[in-house]
Every structure is written in structure tokens, then in C-alpha cells.
Amino acid sequence: MQVGLRTLFEDTPGPLWQAAFERLWPGYSAWFLRGGMVDRPSYLASRRALRNHMPELVPTWEKLVALAGGEDVRSRFLSLWCPPPYIAGCSQAVWVDPLGQEPPALLRNYDYAPALLEGEWMATRWVGQQVLAMSDCCWGVLDGLNESGLAATLAFGGRTVTGEGFGIPLVLRYVLEVARNTAEAVQQLRRLPVSMCYSVTLLDASGDWATVFVSPDRPTEVTRIGAVSNFQHRVEWPEHARATHALERQQHLQGLLDNGASLAHAQAALLHPPLYQTSWERGYGTLYSATYRPAMRQATLSWPGDSWVQSLDALATGTRELQYGAAPRA
């Protein structure tokens, strides 16, 4: 399995984004319409939700809709209001230097199906701040960093409950566009409705951090849990937890933090089992590891034998071709 990863640096929506959208739309169209149009909110409901909850994003949404052809289904998809459910894996943690010599870092593994990775590492200035992020749903965020020094990552929260709210990639996009630090990001997460259950970890340039549990049916919970995988406090979907080794991953990651692992040691551990998963054909293999260092305005993507560093102070265009092997037989 091979996936192309490329940079997309475009301050305002334009031809680069438009070309990426046209490439990705056939797959997203099938996903968005798999239950039929009757299951998707109307254009007016989608626009109203954005205006009520994310007004700062509305001008960008309108530009993207125009670039996408102005068609009804595409505009509704781009709103990410009550999208179809989808489930990934992921592990994430806040590393704090036990010696107090280095600023904290936000670490994560993104676990999903290779064919569903967009492969766009986007740098934009859509609302004012520069944002560097791994893209999902054409303008949402899997993980990223803004110029104020706020980094954010997400992980599936381990419950299949759905509700009226936004897809989490757009929630992360909004947070990185408007918030300047962890405290402001927490305020936004407390008020934004989400469609599914997720854990969002935040770290800012001052070293302030939090892990926030968001759900469509429970109050938002702000915690100081340093390492998370795919459950919140306790496993509530045992089959998923067993298949993705959720407990083992969380315990291993927390153990690294508790035992004072160096940043290099923690980064290396992300690329080895149990944190590194190889079940790509089943939809939860590790596609990349990421290290965010907000105090340095730096992001690093890593794979076994390779890494790619970007700084908001000196972005460099480029591409990578990623190879994933077959999952081991049960």
C-alpha cells in the first residue's frame, strides 16, 4: 500500500486547494452519501450551524464552496455538520522534560486506513493566523499548530454514540484558527457541539496543556491526563479496544511519561509496538507519527526510517511516498 504525502501552502483558498478537492471528492462523495441525502442536513441547516457556532469560518467556507463548484451536496459536505460517523485509532501524549531543560512537546500516532489518508500537509492563513495542519475532509484538521504556538491533536474516544454536531476535524480547524493558547481552546471546545466522541489534546507555547473529552451526549470534560488512546477513563467498547490494543497503548505511553523518558526515546517508541500498529488493511495501522513543539513553532512527521520537519518560520514545499506493508494474519 502506497500513499503520497505533499505540502499544500496557500494563504487563501485558491487553485491548489481546488485541485486537491477535485481529486478527493469522489471518495468523500461516496462516504457522505452512503446513507442517502435524506440522512444529511440541508444546506440551510448546515449554513445556520456554521453561522451560529463558527461565524469566523463562514467567509472561508463560502470561498471553498465556490471553488468546489457551488453545488448543494458539496456545500453541505464542507460544512461538516452532522457528517456520517467514522472511527480511527490514534495515541497521543504531552511530553514534559523531567530535567526541565526542554519545552514540552505534543506527541501522537495517527492510526487509520492508508487509502483514507488525504496526504495534504496544509499551511494557510484563512482567518488571520497561520495554521500548519494535516488535512482531513478537505479543510478539517487531524493535528496541527498555529502561529500563536497552540498545537492540537485528536483521538477517537471509544464510543459509537452520535448526535447533532460538527465533525471533529472542523472543530480542530476552528480551534487552531481562532484560539491563541490552551485556555482559549478549552473555551471553544466547551461550547462547540460535536457529532461523535473524541479526545483532544492541547499544548501551547507557554507549556500549558490539557486533554479534553468531547461527546455529543455528555458534558465536555477538561482533564490533565497526559497519555490517551481510544477510551476516556475506562473502556466502553471492549471489541474495539481489543482490536486496537487501546489499553496496552495507553499504558505504555503513560509509562514512558511516568518513567521520565527523553523526548528522543518517546519519539522512537511511537514507531515500535505496541504504539506502532500494522493493521493497515483493517483500518487502524499507524500512518504517521507527529511531534509538535509549540515553543519552537515546529512540527515533525515521522515514519520508520524517515522524518519530515517543518517550521512556521521557514516552511519548505515537498513530497513523500509512504509505503505500508500488509497486516499480519490473525
Q: Using CA of residue 56, residue 138, residue 237, residue 34, what is the dihedral sign?
A: positive
Q: What's the CA gap between 308 and 303, in Å, rounded?
A: 9
Asked if the model's pLDDT at residue 311 lies above 50, the reply is yes
Please state the length of the chain. Answer: 330
Q: Which three cell numbers stand for residue 185?
A: 481552546
* pLDDT tens-place string over residues 80-134: 999 999 888 899 999 999 999 999 999 999 999 999 999 999 999 999 999 999 9
Task: Tell me which amino acid residue 145 is.
Answer: L
- The per-residue pLDDT for 101 is 93
On whether residue 200 sits in a domain, the answer given is: yes
Give the percent of the chain with pLDDT over 90. Answer: 93
| Amino acid identity for residue 186 in this structure | V
Per-residue confidence (pLDDT) for residue 36, from 0 to 100: 78
Residues in contact with 141: Cβ distance below 8 Å, sequence separation at least 6, in sequence order: 131, 133, 134, 135, 152, 169, 170, 172, 173, 176
26 CB-contact burial (10 Å; exposed 0-12 / middle 13-18 / buried 19+): exposed
How many structural domains are present in the chain? 1
Would you say residue 251 lies in a domain?
yes
- Read off the pLDDT band of 38 (50, 70, 90): confident
User: What percent of the chain is modeled with pLDDT above 70?
Assistant: 98
The runs of H, that is alpha helices, within 180-236 are 182-191
Phi, psi of 263 (to 5 degrees): -60, -40
Q: At what angle do helices 58-67 and 43-53 cross, to 10 degrees?
A: 150
330, part of any domain: no
User: pLDDT-based confidence at 329, cuts 50/70/90?
Assistant: very low
- Comparison of pLDDT for 247 and 40, the residue scoring more: 247
What letter does residue 230 receive in the DSSP assignment? S
Q: Which domain holds residue 193?
A: 2-314
318: its cell numbers = 515537498
* N- to C-terminal Cα separation, the chain: 19
> Is the residue at 151 inside a domain?
yes
Helix (H) or strand (E) holding 143: strand 140-146
Predicted confidence at residue 327, as pLDDT, reads: 43
DSSP character string of 45-81: HHHHHHHHH-GGGHHHHHHHHHHTTS-HHHHHHHHTB
Q: Which residues contact 110 (CB under 8 A, 6 or more apart)?
A: 88, 89, 90, 134, 142, 143, 286, 287, 288, 289, 290
Is 79 contained in some domain?
yes
Longest dimension (CA), the chain: 56
Residue 294: asked if its preceding bond is cis (omega within 30°), the reply is no
| Inside any domain, residue 321 | no
3-state SS, residue 174: helix
Taking only the tens place, the pLDDT of each residue in 145-180 is 999 999 999 999 999 999 999 999 999 999 999 999
Q: If we measure between CA atoms, which residue out of 86, 81, 105, 110 comes closest to residue 94? A: 105
Task: Check pLDDT > 90 for residue 37.
Answer: no
What is the Cβ-side half-sphere exposure of residue 175, based on CA atoms within 13 angstroms?
40
Asked whether residue 8 is assigned to any structural domain, the reply reads yes
Q: What is the pLDDT of residues 253-302, one digit of tens each?
A: 999 999 999 999 999 999 999 999 999 988 899 999 999 999 999 999 99
CATH number, position 46: 3.60.60.10
Q: Is residue 223 part of a domain?
A: yes
Cα 113 to Cα 284: distance, rounded to the nearest angstrom: 6
Measured CA to CA, the distance from residue 241 to residue 10 in angstroms comes to: 39
